[in-house]
Structure 1
Amino acid sequence: MKGLLLRLSSLDADAAAAVRVIAHFQALLGAGRLDPAALVRSAAGLAECPVGVELAGGRVFRAGPDGAALAGPPGRVSGDAALRPAGRVWLERPGAAGPFDELVVEWLAIAAHTLEHPLRVADPALVEVALAGRESVADRARALRLLGLAPEPPLRVLLFAAAEGDDAEVAALALLGRGGVAGTSRVARLGGLGVALVQNRAAAGGSPAAELRAAVRGRLRVGVGGAGEALRARVSLEQAALALRFAVAGPPAEAVVDHDELGPVAVLAELPAARLAALPDVRRLAELAARDGGELNVAALAAFCRTGSLRQAAAELHLHHSSVAARLAHVQAATGWRLRDPAHRFRAQLALYARRLALTPGDPGDPGDPGDPFRGGEAAGGGLTTRAPGPAR
């Protein structure tokens, strides 16, 4: 982050200021447990105007840019955002909104979410130990406790792949905060990916996939592992890595993939990428995608296979249904599939899955230990990397 700030400051003052806003809140999220009074003081100093946070139950905290607590009702609210499941955050700027107020409000809401659902930047070395396959049970338990997690309750691993040039750790923090994911979350950057350990002690705590899909933005891909014993978080990591291979930057339903939802389709990932790419149906899709407008036709096919409805696919792609119908006609002419036939549609969906897996081969890891993608990599976090997301497919 510091290196990025230095590069941006010499190129674009606005970009550098935006990164400083993110870095400010990232530092807060990495500094330990945050309290509401400290959050509003810090944010007011950054925004140079009064800031307020209202939490569930009606508790209100306000501070001025000098750090002094403010009493009474808010002044003129120049920007605000709702919190989930209740509450809000706001800026009180008497004049026009500042150029980065929207960004400040978004990250203020993310930080406020952590007041009741702890979301923190974690030491990547501890995360690596907690997820390692070679470390002893005692070492993994100690790493979990140092991360503020418990070895006993179930834990779930999430992997985040950002577009080239974006910071996967920042993207993970933003998405978890925007999505209002319940439980305790620890986020780190390992290799080229963002990694989150999510632990929800509530018996009803389920997959956060729905919340993440509702909040995902941009060209971010997310793989969600299953919940399991915290001391065996490695299993959830491997599931998340597999799910990430099925994810496609684009529609939320495809950008966030939950391993538990894949079912038997996950078995496709066990086949070598070269064998998948050589399948006749996959080759037909590749040839179709290589034509002018071909990737758009493949995106229409994916939306139609997923929804089973021309109008729903059109709504998802923000197109008129006649445009989607025309694209599907090109697909049918190129492949011979009759997409109104459930059997042909199922075949097309399998071909789409196989093509994704062929384009995002499994992580190579260390040749001496192919089961450990954290070894032999580009950073202290190791070599857990993934191919940058290509066009929607």
Structure 2
Amino acid sequence: MKGLLLRLSAVDADAEAAVRVIAYFDELVAHRASLPDLVRSAAALAECPAGLDGEGRAALRFGPDGTVPAGPEPSTAVSSAVEPGSRVWLERPAPGPLDDLVLERFAIAARLLARPGPAAAAPHLADPALVELVLGEQAADEDRARALVLLGLAPGKPLRVVAVGTEDGGDPGAAAVALMARGGAPPAARVAVVGDVAAVLLQPREGAGTVVTSLRAALAERARERRATGSVRVGVGDPVDGLEARRSWLQARLAERFAVPGAEPVIVHDELGSLTLLAEIPPERLRAQADVRALDDLAATPAGAADVATLEAFCRTGSLRQAALALHRHHSSVAGRLAHVEDALGWRLDDPGDRFRARLALLARRLAARG
């Protein structure tokens, strides 16, 4: 494994560095590294001791020089779950800028390498030029078909495109690869960053309908592990023939604009129905609408952001008590915030017309922000 070594101090903490970290662990999986070699490589990359333990297997722990560190694992180690009863960790006093990504990819690699058989099921970053050719508007069918073949996809089989966006500056390519691996992605899962969103091209063996179930299960698993799930937005396009991938991509991009991280992180295009018409309105027109401006003004006040989030939860769940459960707040606190929203905006949320108006304004504001 010596030829694969990379060190975090040698790369910048930006999107290119994230791609290199992902490729580093992908190479270890592709070469079917042993679990001890995986831990040694992770330690060399992070330039600190690293470890792996799990049920039925002795703990593995190595320093960046490849030797077993003296003394026990410190209490300051940052860790990530591989699967129930198993985890990986890095031993340093405080996490570095890329440690979340390193731990995510370390855990994915450990999960894949612990299984018998080939590592074909690992989703990976694909050549962005080929992906853009498949999804682009100008390509001829023969060029699109050739690009699909080079990506390892079958032009004549159903294909589905998923758009993965992140908030707070997260890398969408890394988020997409981790999400697909956690969701048990099929062998034909190709990821590339297109603009500010990751495009995932999928050809599930079990059928196109399994994509949504797998994605929602993956996000639910991350939530159970108390990992950060609030920054990921996922849009799912319709199943199409391979040569029509662009149509599924545009649908996925549109659906991703409707997603709410943490609350409604996965939006399926064909479940939006007539709401897709709202996305055809130019963002500047949405921003200029009086109700949208009023929500923006409210959100800019000291407690306004929490008020708008409470309104979102109430409109999404349709119930004060369900909104309280979603927000992990007492229902009286939610009622107080909703009363403040009514006073500030002049709406009466027990009136069906005003509730519809509020829901529409919230959707328009969300789409305007992601225009």
Q: Determine the structure 1 residue equivalent to 2:23.
A: 26
Gaps of 5+ in 1: 9-14, 69-75, 362-393
Q: Determine the structure 2 residue equivalent to 1:45.
A: 41
Deviation at 1:108, TM superposition (A): 2.4
* SS of match in other structure, 2:154: coil
Q: Equivalent pairs: percent with the same residue?
A: 43
Deviation at 1:135, TM superposition (A): 1.1
Residue 365 (structure 2) pairs with residue 355 (structure 1) = yes
Q: Determine the structure 1 residue equivalent to 2:116.
A: none
* SS of match in other structure, 2:272: helix
Which is worse superposed, 128-137 or 169-178? Answer: 169-178
Q: Structure 2 CA distance, aligned partners of 1:40 and 1:185? A: 27
CA contact (8 A) 1:36 1:53 kept: no
Q: How does 1:213-232 map to 2 (within 5 A)?
A: 213-214=219-220, 215=222, 217-232=229-244
Relative distance call for 1:219 and 1:43 in structure 2 (3 A) is same
Deviation at 1:141, TM superposition (A): 1.5
Q: Determine the structure 2 residue equivalent to 1:309.
A: 319
Relative distance call for 1:350 and 1:47 in structure 2 (3 A) is same
Relative distance call for 1:331 and 1:140 in structure 2 (3 A) is same
Deviation at 1:164, TM superposition (A): 5.0
Relative distance call for 1:64 and 1:175 in structure 2 (3 A) is same
What code does the residue aligned with 1:241 have? R
Relative distance call for 1:117 and 1:279 in structure 2 (3 A) is same
Q: How does 1:241-256 map to 2 (within 5 A)?
A: 241-248=253-260, 250=261, 252-256=262-266
Q: Determine the structure 2 residue equivalent to 1:211.
A: 217
2:164 corresponds, among 139, 160, 180, to: 160
Q: Structure 1 CA distance, aligned partners of 2:95 and 2:292? A: 45
Q: Determine the structure 2 residue equivalent to 1:299.
A: 309
CA contact (8 A) 2:307 2:338 kept: yes
Q: Which has the higher contact order (CA 8 A, sep 6+)?
A: 1
Gaps of 5+ in 2: 1-5, 67-72, 113-118, 223-227
Q: Determine the structure 2 residue equivalent to 1:81.
A: 81
* SS of match in other structure, 1:332: helix
Relative distance call for 1:272 and 1:356 in structure 2 (3 A) is same
2:175 corresponds, among 164, 171, 174, to: 171
Deviation at 1:350, TM superposition (A): 1.3
Report the TM-score, using the length of structure 1 for normalisation: 0.70
Q: Structure 2 CA distance, aligned partners of 1:63 and 1:145? A: 41
Q: Structure 2 CA distance, aligned partners of 1:197 and 1:59? A: 35
Q: Structure 2 CA distance, aligned partners of 1:342 and 1:36? A: 59
* SS of match in other structure, 2:121: coil
Relative distance call for 1:291 and 1:109 in structure 2 (3 A) is same
- Aligned CA RMSD, in angstroms, stands at 4.0
* SS of match in other structure, 1:253: coil
Q: Determine the structure 2 residue equivalent to 1:346.
A: 356
Which is worse superposed, 279-288 or 300-309? Answer: 279-288
How many residues align structurally?
Answer: 335
Q: Determine the structure 2 residue equivalent to 1:267.
A: 277
